[in-house]
Amino acid sequence: MRGTVTGLLAAAVLLSGCAGVRDSRLNPVNWFGAAAPAPAAAPAEAAGGNPLIPERGAFARPEATYDGAAIARVAEVALERLPGGVVLRATGVAERQGPYDVRLTPVETGESDVRVFRFERRLPRQSTPVGPERTRTVTAAVHLDDLELRGVRRLRVLAADTARDLPL
């Protein structure tokens, strides 16, 4: 018991002396110099970008132009209702294995009551085998809010060979 009390008392006395060490060279925090104030830079969002999205690398912003081509066939189209909008989900089959970066790209039409999307994909540069259909099947989705769907009665997904309509 005496040893424990003596140890706690010694620790308290040693720790109370740390206040005098905070500005000395014995404190490891001071070894690399103190931080100096610097002027704040203009926000990146004002310059046209989000500072949390890198300009290069795996998580970089997508390029401005998308050079995908229409997928071979639309196999299935589904509509999932959410509060404030819907999610349009399309499943398609590519002509060969390896499709990536699949998207539902909006297509401008003269019809005001139909929203049209083109199901697009990219294929690898190197030649890939055709393979079974299950290895060529991909899914893409797009969220549409209620404002975008105002006055729309049907959604259409286009592919190279087929198209699917879905009533709202």
Q: What is the domain partition of the chain in residue ranges?
A: 69-167
Tens digits of per-residue pLDDT, 111-121?
889 999 999 99
Please state whether the predicted TM-score (pTM) of the whole model is above 0.85.
Answer: no
Amino acid at 107: V
Tens digits of per-residue pLDDT, 127-145?
889 889 999 999 999 999 9
Can you tell me whether residue 140 is helix, strand or coil?
Answer: strand
- Backbone Cα Rg of the chain: 30
**pLDDT the model gives residue 137:** 94
Inter-residue contact 128 to 111 (CB < 8 Å): no
In our burial notation (b when 16+ CB lie closer than 10 A, e otherwise), range 10-19 reads: eeeeeeeeee
Write down the H helix ranges in 22-75. Answer: none
